[in-house]
Structure 1
Amino acid sequence: MPATQLSRITLRGTPREIGLAHGENLKPQILRQLHIYKSMFEYTSRLSWSQVLKVAAEFQSTIQKLTPEIHTEMMGIAEGAGVQALEIVALNCRSEIALGKFSDGCTSLSWRKHDHARVLAQNWDWTASVGENLAMVSIEQSGKPTIYMVTEAGIVGKIGFNSAAVGTCLNAIRARPMDPSKLPIHVALRLCLESPSVADAVKTLQDLGGVASAQHILIADSTSALGLELSPVGNKYLPENPSGLIGHTNHFLENRYVDEPPWLSDSPIRLWRLNELTGELIASGVHGDDIVPALLRRKVFSDTFNAPQAIACQEDESRHEIIRSSTLFNIVMDLDRGNPRAEISLGRPGSDDEGPIMTMPW
């Protein structure tokens, strides 16, 4: 992905107005996303686009029933972009429809600075072709915190934080089963980003019946953090360790409710390396206000141990081009209740392709 600035769009109003503006502002990116995922579903899952849309129709019924406002927003995105409604639903359910066969590997970290501040950070690794379709989006809705997130065009919830200092990161998990009567993970992320606290987010997901596929959401606010190892057949919640850390990659640590065959051999290695690097920082005296974005990018998220499948992920040329992952961006969120903010860098931290630092809010 070339080093460049991400599109920045501000969405506000009713769910339909938010969706329309999303679709209209990001129409070229949405069209490219649809082209990419059509090819990806065909290659990874042997699903034609008509078969994908058939599964999406099952999810549409669920989304409309459980989260009608988000469904209305998706319909607005489709109208604004001039595409079929089910195509936008398919983008938002892409993790579920692929049954874990998309190999987007990521490394995420939550670190307690003080009793009233956390840092939440992630390298997001995915196929390079998606990079030009990412956008920084803010969403202003009546009666809800303002959302600031980095998302794929057409997708309603992703990685970011809100004005109440609640933030989310995502680690893909490959496991069965999948249940289209439950919430797709990107809708679950949106609900977390609409929540005033970690506790409220967890309660909302539980009250709505849980999620459709096995995934990990690392969620934090200024006073707490949890690793949500979610699945349609049961959840496990990971607390902060005694050092105030939660680290996660692309395999479950405690959730044994699902059928999870080994898939990314580097996932345990990245987690071990993440724990080693943060342990070294703690041993060197790093704590509190020392935990800043530049330090994490330089000392943790730029790490190339076990390259190319490292924390700073490089393309593995042994894989088919359409599913070759590399780190597309790093985000470090400072979840201070009085002033939540984030820094985003494009490309692999510490490499020649690392782009400029951007901030949210902007």
Structure 2
Amino acid sequence: MFQFTSRLSWSDVRDISKEFQSPLQTLVPHIYSEMEGIAEGAELDIFDIMALNCRSEIALGRFSDGCTALSWKRSNSAQVLSQNWDWTATVKKNLAMDPWIEFPQMPSTIIPKALWLIKSIVALIQAGIVGKIGFNSAGVGTCLNAIRAKPMISSKLPIHVALRLCLESTSVDSAVKTLESLGGVASAQHILISDSTKSLGLELSPVGNKYLAEDTSGLIAHSNHFLENHYVEEPPWLPGSPIRLDRIKYLALELIAKGVSGDAITPGLLRERIFSDTYNAPQAICGKEDESRHISTRSSSLFNIVMDLNSEAPSAEVVFGRVGSGEEGPVLKMPWV
């Protein structure tokens, strides 16, 4: 995929990843140590693992993943955070539902003091990557929309490391404070982050950020183009992105107009009425492979996740595959213990 999208061999990619080593060691030593542990356990070189975690930055966002995300305020103490995650089907075998981190509740020279308040993180990841889509025991959850834009600045945080830092936070506000205090992110991407009381769309870039608040209906929706961040150079990328964004807003507002609110906002309803939608296929909310594209860039919806971020017992339902297609997998629960 690197070869096709960026004309980079794996050796080239590993060499570029070395630019991130010193910033990671300095800014997030506990996460860098975890990457070393992953490399050792997988019997790979640290630069293999760093390349995976910096893939979005190395390719300058030129991967053809198209994801559609939605947050919906259920009440003053619960948010629903959800998305279809799209990418090439060849990575299906590398997806994992990870119970992943159980933080020791004691002082440590490696683990930052702020993490003593976080008991655990559960997430959907690709093997070898330290952060992505999921939630923690404090009820903070994350979704991701890839953005194709320049510039990229390797002295800043890779986006998957930024996602991990969000999942190490106790609130939306503390996550934003952490990212800003560490100097921001290395590439332009969108993180939709929620806790039990608040959602925020983080249109992040190495040259400036914009933050999107909930609208009057308690919604934030996003796809694969920036809405307010004009600091970056963002060439046209996925023509279906604006259509998906308008469509997910329309479908959510249609449900609101019919009186759907509170506990009626269920994972099953969102899968049936929003995330199975095939309008403007193949670049639909429920994405389908476009066989006219090279196999390494044929995106389709690989999983759907709906998180219930209440302050007492955050949870999620996950379905692998294209929901509503008849070929999707069973409903899986997170956490599962």
- TM-score w.r.t. structure 1 length? 0.89
C-alpha distance in 1 between matches for 2:269 and 2:218: 17
Which residue number corresponds to residue 6 of structure 1? none
Alignment of 1:128-207 (within 5 A): 128-138=89-99, 139-142=101-104, 143=116, 144-207=118-181
Deviation at 1:61, TM superposition (A): 1.4
Code of the aligned partner of 1:198? V
Q: Of the candidates 236, 239, 242, which is equivalent to residue 213 of structure 2?
A: 239
Q: Of the candidates 57, 60, 72, which is equivalent to residue 33 of structure 2?
A: 72
Q: SS at the partner of 1:246? A: strand
- Would you say 1:226 and 2:200 are equivalent positions? yes
Give percent identity, aligned residues only: 67
- Superimposed CA distance per residue, residues 149-208 of structure 1 (whole angstroms, 9 cap, x where no aligned partner): 000000000000000000000000000000000000000000000101000000000000
Which residue number corresponds to residue 48 of structure 2? 87
- Would you say 1:248 and 2:233 are equivalent positions? no
Which residue number corresponds to residue 286 of structure 1? 260
C-alpha distance in 2 between matches for 1:157 and 1:304: 29
Alignment of 1:1-362 (within 5 A): 40-138=1-99, 139-142=101-104, 143=116, 144-362=118-336
C-alpha distance in 1 between matches for 2:213 and 2:300: 29
Code of the aligned partner of 2:185? V
C-alpha distance in 2 between matches for 1:226 and 1:323: 29
Structure 2: where are the runs of 5+ without partners?
105-115
Greater shift in the superposed pair: 185-194 or 138-147:
138-147
Which residue number corresponds to residue 35 of structure 1? none
Deviation at 1:360, TM superposition (A): 0.5
Q: SS at the partner of 1:297? A: helix
Greater shift in the superposed pair: 135-144 or 94-103:
135-144
Query: What stretches of structure 1 move > 2 A for 4+ residues in a row?
Result: none
Greater shift in the superposed pair: 345-354 or 213-222:
345-354
Deviation at 1:145, TM superposition (A): 3.5
Q: SS at the partner of 1:136? A: strand
State whether residues 145 and 194 of structure 1, in contact with CA within 8 Å, keep that contact through their aligned partners in structure 2: no
Deviation at 1:309, TM superposition (A): 0.8
C-alpha distance in 2 between matches for 1:177 and 1:145: 36
Structure 1: where are the runs of 5+ without partners?
1-39
- TM-score w.r.t. structure 2 length? 0.95
